[in-house]
A and B are shown apart, each in its own frame.
Chain A
Amino acid sequence: MSDINETPDEAGDTGHEWDGIRELKNPIPRWWMVSFYASILWLVLYLILYPSIPLITGNSEGLLGWTQVKEYKDGMKEVEAIRAPFEKRIKELDVGGILKDTELSQFAIASSKVLFGDHCAPCHGSGGQGTSGLYPVLVDDDWLYGGKIETIVETIAEGREGSMPGHKDSLSQKELDDVVKFVQSLSAGSFYAPGKKVYLGETAGEAECAGCHGEDGKGLTDFGSANLADGIWRFDGTQEGIMHTILYGVNEDNPDTRKAKMPAFGEKLMPEQIKKLAVKVHLLGGGQ
C-alpha cells in the first residue's frame, strides 16, 4: 500500500537544478506505470478489434467488424420487426376496417407523421389548421367533398379541383350586392329575400348558384361546392371577400380568380400510405 519514499535522495539527481530545486531520479510510482502499460495494451487491443488504422482506400476493419452503420441498421431492423405486424394489417384491411381498430388507427396516426409533414403540412399546416383563405382546414367538421373515410382516401389519391364561374359580366351591380347580402345572411340563419331571388336565378342575370350550392345553400359534396350556410368560409368571409369570389369565380380563366386545387397523390404514395394519411385526417377532429 504505502509508496512513501523515506529516502528521496537515494536515487541521486540528474544534475539539473533550478533555484535550488533539483530534479531527482526517483522511479515513477508503480501504479502509474501499471496504468501506463495497461493503456498501451488497451490501445493495441482496440486497434485490432475496431476500425481504426487509416489506409489509402479506407481504414482497417477490425476483427469485430463493427461499424456505426451496421449498428444503425441493426437498430432499424429491430424497429421494423415491431412495426411489421401492424404494417401487414394495414395492407390487408380496407380503410374502414383500420378506422374501427383503435390500436391500428393509433399506429396509422403515429407512423404517418413524417408523411403528413412532407405532403400535407405545406398547405394544410402541421396540425391540419389550414392556411386562412387559401387551403382548407382539416380539423373542423366541414367537408367540401365529404368527410367519410372512403371519400378522404379518394381525395388524397385523385386530388381535387374546385370550379365556380365568375359573375362579373352576367350579374348587374344590384344583383351582385343582393346576392352577397343573401350569402352573408345564410350563415347568420336568416334570409335576405331580394338576394334569394338572384341566388335562385329568378332575376335577369339568371345566376345558377343553387345548381351547385343547393337551394338551401348547404353545398353539395358531389360538386365540392362550399356550404354557405355555416360559419366556416372556404375563402374570405368578409363582404368584399364574398364579392370577390362571386365576381371572379374559382379556377377561372382570369387573373383574379380564386384558386382551389389539390394535387393527386395516387401516383406518388403507396396505397398503405394513403390509408394511413386518410385515417389521420379523419381522426384530426372532423371525420364523419
Chain B
Amino acid sequence: MSENIKEQELAELYSESEYWHVNLGETTIHAKRISGKFRNIKWIIAAAVYLPCFLVPYIRWEGKQAILLDIPGRKFNFFSLHIWPQEVWMLALLLMLFFLVMHAVTSVAGRVFCGYFCWQTVWVDVFTWIEEKLEGPPVARVKLDAAPLSFHKVKIKAAKHTIFLLLGVFTGISFISYFIDVYDMWGYYFTLSGPKEIWITILPFAIGTYLGVAFMREQICFWLCPYARIQGVMSDADTIMPTYNFKRGEPRGKIKRESGDDEKKLGDCIDCSLCVAVCPTGIDIRHGQQEGCITCGLCIDACNSIMEKVDRPKELITYISLRELLGHRHRPFYKRGRVLLYFAIILSLCSGIVWGLITITPLSLTVIRERQPLFVMLSNGDIQNKYTLKILNKSNSDIDVAVKVRGLRGAVLELRPSKITVPAGKLKKVTAFVREHRENIDGKSTLTYFKVENMKNKKMRDSYKTVFMGPKR
C-alpha cells in the first residue's frame, strides 16, 4: 500500500462499503413472516398458478391425457389440438412471446415475476413456511442452528430435510407427468418398473430442488438466475417498484419515550428494521433499489404495519417509480415508447400464433417425385410420372382420403393402394402414377398439384405443388 494516501482519503474511499454488504450466502436468511396485503397476494398467486400445475396432468380429454408433451410420439397434445414437429415454429413464437411479455412487465412494474410467480421464490416461500412450522420463528431457528448437536436438533433437522427431499422428488415426478400418461406413470412408480427415463429424470429435479430451494435460496436470485442479471436493462425511471420514500423517511431515528424537539426534525422512519427482517433476500430496501430485491412487497406490508402502530401515514415503502419519487409526474405505461413497442411486438406474435392455430389442418400432404427415371414413356406413347405421396393424419380418428391431381389436361391418376385410409396419428405412403398424353404437355415440365381431402369432411384438406416431367419437344 502506497504511503502517500492520506488517512482521510482512505476513510472516504471506504465510506460506502459498510452500506453495501454483498450477500454471498455466508449466513442463512431467516425472514420473519408477517401478514398483510402482499403476503395474501403471494399465497393467492401460489395457489392459483402452482396448484393447477400439479393437477393439470390428471385432466382427461377424449380418453387421453388433456395436456401431454409426447416426446417419443413426437407431438404435443393440448385437448383436441395436436401439435406436430412441423408446427414447431409456433413454439418458437410462444417462447418469444414469453420473453417479450417478461420485458414488458419488467419495464412497467419491475420483477413482478420474481416476486410472485417464479417457481424458485414460490418454492422457497413454501419451504420456509414448513421450516417455520417445524423449527419455530426466525429467532428460534437461528438459535437451533447455533445449538450443539442433540437428539432434539437431529430429530427436527432430519424431519425437515426428509420433507424437503420428498418435495424435491415430487417436483420431479410432477414435471415428468407432463411427458407420460400420468396414470401409467404412477403405475410404473408403484411397481418399480417402466422406462428408465422416468426414473433418471427425477434425479436432477430432486437434487436441483433440494439444493436450490433448501440451501441456496436467495443466492439463486442474486447470482444464478439470468433474468435477474439482465432485468436492470429492462427497467428505468418510470418502472414502479417497491421503493423507500427517503424524502419522508430520512433522517431516520428511534422514537424516544418523551418527545422532544429532536423528534420533530426526524423523518417518518423509526429505524425499527422490520423491513429488513421480513425481506426474503435479506436486503435493506432503504438503501434504494438494488440487485437483490425481488419486488415481493413484503417490506411494504411490514412497514405499513409499523406506520399503523405509530400512527403515521402508511406507504413509507411503496410501489412507486423513481420519477414520481423525485417529484416529477408519473408517466403511465401507455405513454411510454418502449412499452408500446413491446406491446406491438407481443400483438404480432399473438396474431402469428392464433393464425397458426386456426390454419393447422389435421391432414397434411408431402409429395416426393421419382427422379430415376424422371419420366417413363409407355407403349402407347403416353408419359408416366411416379410420385410418392406422404399423407399425415394428425387427428385422433382414421380418415378416408380422396386424392386428386390438378394442372394437367388429360391426366390419369393411378394410386397404390387405390383406397386410402390413413390411420389416426399415422403417416401413410401412397404411390401415385400419373399418365398424360404427350400432346398435352407443353414443355419439359408442367406445374402440377396434388390435393388430398377427407372424404367425409371436405374442409379438411391439403395440397402440394410439384411438376410433371416429359421429354423435350
On A, residues with C-beta under 8 Å from B are: 1-2, 4, 102, 106, 125-130, 137, 139-142, 227, 230-232, 283, 285-286
Residue from B25, B381, B416, B431 within 8 A of A1 (CB atoms): B25
Contact yes or no, A127 B372, CB < 8 A: yes
Which residues of B260-280 are within 8 A (CB) of A?
none
Residue in chain A with minimal CB distance to B429: A106
Residue from B24, B379, B433 within 8 A of A2 (CB atoms): B24
Complex-state Cα separation, A283 to B431, whole angstroms: 9
Complex-state Cα separation, A102 to B378, whole angstroms: 24
On B, residues with C-beta under 8 Å from A are: 24-26, 219, 370-373, 376-381, 384, 386, 416-417, 429, 431, 433
B370 partner residues in chain A, CB cutoff 8 A: 127
Given contacts A127-B371, A129-B373, A139-B373, contact A1 B219 (CB under 8 A): yes
Contact yes or no, B379 A140, CB < 8 A: yes
Contact yes or no, A127 B373, CB < 8 A: yes
Contact yes or no, B379 A231, CB < 8 A: yes
15 contacts between A and B (CB under 8 A): A2-B26, A4-B24, A102-B416, A125-B373, A128-B373, A129-B372, A129-B373, A130-B373, A139-B373, A140-B377, A141-B379, A231-B378, A231-B380, A285-B384, A285-B433
Contact yes or no, A230 B380, CB < 8 A: yes
Query: B172 to nearest A CB, angstroms?
Result: 23
Residue in chain A with minimal CB distance to B374: A129
Query: B438 to nearest A CB, angstroms?
Result: 9
Contact yes or no, B417 A137, CB < 8 A: no
Contact yes or no, B378 A140, CB < 8 A: yes
Query: A20 to nearest B CB, angstroms?
Result: 14
Contact yes or no, A232 B377, CB < 8 A: yes
B379 partner residues in chain A, CB cutoff 8 A: 140-142, 227, 230-232
Residue in chain A with minimal CB distance to B223: A1
Residue from B381, B386, B417 within 8 A of A231 (CB atoms): B381
Residue in chain A with minimal CB distance to B219: A1
Complex-state Cα separation, A126 to B370, whole angstroms: 11
Given contacts A1-B25, A2-B26, A283-B416, contact A137 B380 (CB under 8 A): no
Residue from B25, B376, B386, B417 within 8 A of A102 (CB atoms): B417
Query: B72 to nearest A CB, angstroms?
Result: 16
A1 partner residues in chain B, CB cutoff 8 A: 24-26, 219
B371 partner residues in chain A, CB cutoff 8 A: 127
Query: A238 to nearest B CB, angstroms?
Result: 15
Q: Which among A139, A227, A230 has the greatest number of chain B C-beta atoms within 10 A?
A: A139
Complex-state Cα separation, A128 to B372, whole angstroms: 7
Contact yes or no, A141 B378, CB < 8 A: yes
Given contacts A1-B26, A127-B370, A231-B381, contact A137 B376 (CB under 8 A): yes
A283 partner residues in chain B, CB cutoff 8 A: 416, 431
Complex-state Cα separation, A231 to B384, whole angstroms: 13
Given contacts A127-B371, A283-B431, contact A140 B26 (CB under 8 A): no
Query: A1 to nearest B CB, angstroms?
Result: 4
Query: B402 to nearest A CB, angstroms?
Result: 18
A227 partner residues in chain B, CB cutoff 8 A: 379
Residue in chain A with minimal CB distance to B216: A1
Query: B25 to nearest A CB, angstroms?
Result: 4
A231 partner residues in chain B, CB cutoff 8 A: 377-381
A106 partner residues in chain B, CB cutoff 8 A: 429
Complex-state Cα separation, A127 to B371, whole angstroms: 8
Query: A120 to nearest B CB, angstroms?
Result: 13
B24 partner residues in chain A, CB cutoff 8 A: 1-2, 4
Complex-state Cα separation, A18 to B39, whole angstroms: 59
A sample of 10 more A-B contacts (CB under 8 A), given A140-B379, A232-B377, is A2-B26, A130-B373, A137-B373, A230-B381, A231-B380, A232-B378, A232-B379, A285-B376, A285-B384, A286-B376
Contact yes or no, B431 A139, CB < 8 A: no
Residue in chain B with minimal CB distance to A3: B24
